[in-house]
């Protein structure tokens, strides 16, 4: 299998560069890649307004928004209602005048202390009483907004503002509590809605078909042979427990029990041979995903899939080559594997076990 180092992708496979990109930076998503990454592959694949790009693991819509910026139609799915909300708000076409009016109105909402605040122990640890009161007040005001696009726009602003006004610190796979001075939710929210509006006014994006829905990559709701290109990044093996990291957002804004979210790739633990059970379950699920991708891709479709190695106390599991083999068995041609970066896999945070690659697996449906 052809492995090639590609230094230029080192930062692009991370979310960091998005920090400086309007709209892309509306919600920080550590698990995402950057706009620059999608640009590289839209250009390499020569995508245009007649192509359809699929991202079956949409995250916060980096692929979808970049496609929209380039006038390329796209469709995307994610199992997480939180990230789908973020993606939708970032990629919708707005009536700017109407939105401007709504933002002005929301900026004038007069705070009224709510009768009740959540009793949840976790929420009480990561928010001050005042922050929780603000969140509950704004949440109720936003729920009254009739227009779905405006309601979602304000909801995203509130979710982000709440997290900025919390003591939560997302540290890898954990959320730590760091008691520090935080800005009031009211202030962050008002600033945020004005900034989001400003970004949209500047962006002047052309309407292009962009669909993002809740869906499972193991069962993609698309016709056979309908997709020209896939630019995506599945969850990394044994890396992120999404349900834990985003539990605050879910507890506050999505009336959804945690268990319902455990349909994530690799979360069905089964008993297998020589790999940790979680890795076996992961590759079983990824086989289902690759089969679905084969089904929905047109002949000659090209795919760029970012993936990282798995770190286990027993050693490193190479995911890029294993995924490429799975794809090949299904019928894809493996063009090459571009190695974007290498990280140490460690035990107890300090003992080095081995190096893990973060790579882009390039495939073609021949
Ligand atoms: C690595 S992130 C993708 C980030 C994205 N490229 C971005 O820039 O925002 C993987 C995503 O896959 C989603 N996911 C996990 N299991 C899934 C499944 N079975 N079907 C669809 N999405 C899934 C997670 O919710 C997460 O948002």
pLDDT in tens, 151-173: 999 999 999 999 999 998 887 77
Q: Which two tokens stand for residue 83?
A: 């990230």
> Is 12 within 8 Å of 36 (Cβ atoms)?
yes
pLDDT of 81: 94
213: which strand partners?
77
> Is 207 within 8 Å of 216 (Cβ atoms)?
no
307: which strand partners?
359
CA of 323 to the centre of ligand 1 (A): 16
Q: Quote the pTM value.
A: 0.94
Q: Is the CB of 218 under 6 A from ligand 1?
A: yes
Q: Which two tokens stand for residue 50?
A: 């007649």
**Placement of tokens 């359809």 in the chain:** 52
Tens digits of per-residue pLDDT, 89-116? 999 999 999 999 999 999 999 999 999 9
Mind listing the domains of the chain with CATH numbers? 3-91+206-365 (3.40.50.150), 96-203 (no CATH)
Q: Are strands 351-365 and 297-308 parallel, antiparallel or unpaired?
A: antiparallel
Q: Is the CB of 32 under 6 A from ligand 1?
A: yes
Q: Which two tokens stand for residue 90?
A: 């970032």
Question: Which contiguous run of DSSP H or E holds residue 329?
Answer: helix 319-330
* Residue among 86, 264, 266 whose CB has most ligand 1 atoms within 8 A, to mutate: 264
> Is 167 within 8 Å of 125 (Cβ atoms)?
yes
- Spans of the chain below 70 pLDDT: 239-241, 256-274
- For residue 240, give the ligand 1 atom closest to its CA: 1
pLDDT of 347: 84
Q: Is the CB of 266 under 6 A from ligand 1?
A: no
Alpha-carbon span 227 to 298, nearest angstrom: 6
* Residue among 12, 58, 260 whose CB has most ligand 1 atoms within 8 A, to mutate: 58
pLDDT of 349: 77
85: nearest Cα among 154, 152, 32: 152
CA of 144 to the centre of ligand 1 (A): 30
């Amino acid at each position: 299998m052809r492995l090639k180092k590609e230094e230029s992708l080192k930062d692009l496979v991370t979310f960091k560069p998005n920090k400086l990109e309007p709209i892309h930076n509306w919600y920080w998503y550590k698990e995402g890649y950057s706009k620059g990454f999608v640009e590289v592959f839209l250009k390499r694949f020569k995508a245009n307004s007649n192509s359809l790009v699929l991202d079956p693991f949409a995250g916060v819509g980096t692929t979808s928004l970049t496609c929209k910026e380039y006038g390329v139609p796209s469709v995307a799915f994610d199992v997480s209602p939180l990230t789908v909300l973020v993606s939708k708000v970032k990629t919708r076409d707005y009536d700017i005048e109407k939105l401007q009016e709504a933002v002005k109105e929301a900026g004038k909402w007069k705070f009224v202390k709510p009768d009740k605040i959540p009793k949840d122990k976790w929420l009480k640890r990561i928010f001050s009483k005042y922050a929780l009161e603000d969140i509950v007040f704004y949440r109720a005001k936003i729920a009254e907004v009739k227009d779905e696009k405006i309601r979602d726009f304000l909801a995203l602003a509130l979710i982000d503002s709440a997290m900025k006004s919390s003591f939560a610190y997302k540290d890898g796979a954990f959320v730590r509590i760091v008691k520090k001075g935080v800005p009031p939710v009211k202030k962050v929210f008002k600033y945020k809605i004005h900034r989001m509006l400003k970004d949209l006014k500047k962006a002047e994006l052309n309407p292009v078909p962009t669909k993002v829905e809740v869906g499972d990559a193991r069962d993609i709701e698309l016709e056979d042979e309908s997709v020209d290109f896939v630019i995506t990044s599945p969850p990394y093996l044994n890396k992120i427990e999404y349900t834990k990291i985003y539990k605050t957002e879910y507890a506050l804004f999505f009336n959804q029990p945690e268990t319902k979210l455990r349909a994530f790739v690799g979360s069905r633990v089964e008993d297998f041979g020589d790999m940790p059970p979680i890795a076996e379950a992961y590759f079983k699920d990824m086989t289902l995903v690759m089969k679905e991708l084969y089904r929905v891709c047109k002949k000659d479709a090209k795919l760029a899939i970012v993936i990282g190695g798995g770190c286990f106390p027993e050693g490193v599991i190479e995911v890029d080559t294993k995924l490429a083999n799975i794809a090949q068995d299904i019928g894809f041609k493996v063009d090459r594997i571009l190695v974007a970066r290498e990280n140490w896999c460690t035990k107890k945070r300090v003992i080095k076990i081995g190096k893990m690659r973060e790579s882009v697996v390039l495939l073609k449906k021949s």
